[in-house]
């Protein structure tokens, strides 16, 4: 079960971006993928303006990302890294900077894991989806910290095994921003201490971040297996909850 007391996220101010972006503070991310480094140009014949979101630059054999890298599944355009972070074998801290949220200061977060050195999918949930709310409708600094995120269900790695943690932020209009951290499972005593220097909830008036649960239907039906929800109600409940939290923040 998801326990908020086990979460850690960090937020910092960044240069103006069109949507909120994430920085994974702990464990360390694959690298800086918040920039936009491609072109959408009517003078470049290799790009149909505005159409693809990724372009291949023949001369130096690199990829450019005209709308920014973080929109790319699965890891925001970044390849698997070799500088992995040791992470506790029973689960551990995750600290994320949600970034800047102009317009509406809320977003949905998914945290998943892919197994092995080069995961081909990230289909294993570590936490149920949750929502964060920011202090204002304009950009703000801040961070949050989940100190003990569990492993996906039915997954028992060995010390030395590799995996990738994927953080997805859903922006206001449903577009997803991707970011990943590559880890090696380690005995907790071999993992450097995580403390407020790299994992902190900011609580000031300008950088306080709130949390909201989104879905409750699974636990309701598990707790009351004899209850019959009609399909409409089971859709309506999470929708109403999501709307209620949203209305609080517009
Ligand atoms: C951050 O806030 C969440 C939600 O209240 C809480 O569960 C978590 O323990 C806090 N993190 C730290 C490091 O105190
Ligand atoms: C790994 O190396 C890249 C490239 O130097 C760097 O951007 C990234 O922060 C590093 N990640 C970790 C976890 O050290
Ligand atoms: C590749 O070429 C493009 C276009 O000239 C340039 O903008 C970009 O910085 C180059 N990238 C690298 C990694 O050298
Ligand atoms: C864009 O940035 C990524 C990551 O730093 C890099 O791999 C890629 O070569 C860059 N592309 C261009 C066109 O500079
Ligand atoms: C985990 O990744 C590291 C660095 O990329 C590699 O040296 C090591 O062999 C990998 N471990 C396993 C069990 O494949
Ligand atoms: C995802 O990867 C896991 C192994 O990491 C594999 O067992 C599973 O079948 C894969 N799922 C899909 C949908 O490819
Ligand atoms: C936080 O942990 C680091 C090791 O990761 C350590 O060097 C540092 O002294 C700690 N800071 C505090 C305030 O405990």
46-76 per-position pLDDT tens digit: 666 667 788 888 889 988 888 889 999 999 9
How many angstroms separate the alpha carbon of residue 26 from the centre of ligand 2?
12
Integer-rounded Cα radius of gyration of the chain: 19
Q: Closest ligand 1 atom, CA of 145?
A: 11
Q: Do residues 75 and 122 both lie within one domain? A: yes
Count CB-CB contacts under 10 A for residue 48.
Answer: 11
Is the minimum distance from the CB of 83 to ligand 2 under 6 angstroms? yes
pLDDT of residue 88: 97
Residue 54 lies inside a defined structural domain of this protein = no
Measured CA to CA, the distance from residue 159 to residue 184 in angstroms comes to 8
pTM: 0.80
Q: Using the 8-state DSSP alphabet, how is residue 223 labeled?
A: H
CA of residue 54 to ligand 4 center, whole Å: 11
**Angle at Cα 242 formed by Cα 241 and Cα 246, nearest 5°?**
115
CA distance 230 to 106: 30
Residue 114, φ and ψ in degrees, nearest 5 = -115, 140
Maximum CA extent, the chain: 64
Contact criterion met (CB below 8 Å) for 180 and 29: yes
Residues of the domain holding 200:
4-33+68-212
195 in the same domain as 122:
yes
Reported as a single tens digit per residue, the pLDDT across 200-227 is 988 888 788 888 877 555 444 444 333 3
Rounded CA separation 235/150 (Å): 27
Dihedral sign from CA coordinates of 246, 97, 125, 151:
negative
Q: Is 218 in the pocket of ligand 6 (CB under 6 A)?
A: no
Pairing between β-strand 85-88 and β-strand 176-186 as defined by DSSP bridges: parallel
Could you tell me if 232 and 165 lie in one domain?
Answer: no
Q: How far is CA 189 from the centre of its chain?
A: 27
Region 130-138: what's the mean pLDDT?
77
Question: Mapping DSSP to helix (H, G, I), strand (E, B) and coil, where does residue 213 land?
Answer: strand
Which residue, by CA, sits nearest to atom 9 of ligand 2?
31
> Over 50: is that where the pLDDT of 40 sits?
yes
- Region 74-92: mean pLDDT is 95
The closest ligand to the CA of 65 turns out to be 4
The answer on 28 and 97 residing in a single domain is yes
* Residue 51 covered by a domain: no
Same domain, 152 and 248: no
Domain count, the chain: 2
- What is the predicted pLDDT for the residue at 19? 55
Residues 95 and 109 in one domain: yes
Asked whether residue 207 falls in the same domain as residue 220, the answer is no
């Amino acid at each position: 079960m998801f326990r908020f007391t086990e979460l850690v996220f960090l937020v910092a101010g960044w240069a103006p971006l069109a949507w909120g972006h994430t920085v994974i503070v702990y464990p360390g991310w694959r690298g800086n993928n918040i920039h936009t480094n491609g072109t959408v140009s009517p003078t470049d014949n290799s790009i149909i303006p505005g159409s693809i979101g990724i372009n291949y630059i023949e001369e130096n054999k690199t990829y450019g990302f005209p709308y920014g890298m973080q929109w790319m599944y699965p890891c925001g355009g970044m390849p698997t890294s070799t500088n992995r972070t040791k992470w506790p074998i029973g689960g551990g801290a995750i600290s994320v900077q949600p970034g800047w949220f102009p317009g509406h200061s809320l977003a949905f977060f998914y945290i998943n894991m892919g197994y092995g050195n080069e995961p081909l999918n990230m289909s294993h949930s570590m936490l149920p989806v949750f929502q964060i709310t920011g202090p204002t409708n304009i950009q703000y600094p801040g961070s949050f910290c989940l100190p003990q995120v569990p492993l996906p269900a039915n997954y028992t790695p060995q010390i030395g095994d590799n995996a990738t943690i994927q953080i997805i932020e859903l922006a206001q209009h449903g577009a997803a921003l991707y970011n990943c951290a590559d880890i090696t499972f380690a005995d907790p005593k071999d993992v450097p201490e995580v403390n407020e220097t790299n994992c902190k909830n900011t609580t000031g008036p300008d950088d306080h971040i709130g949390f909201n649960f989104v879905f409750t239907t699974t636990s309701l039906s598990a707790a009351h297996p004899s209850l019959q929800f009609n399909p409409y109600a089971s859709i309506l409940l999470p929708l109403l909850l999501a709307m209620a939290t949203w209305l609080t923040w517009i």
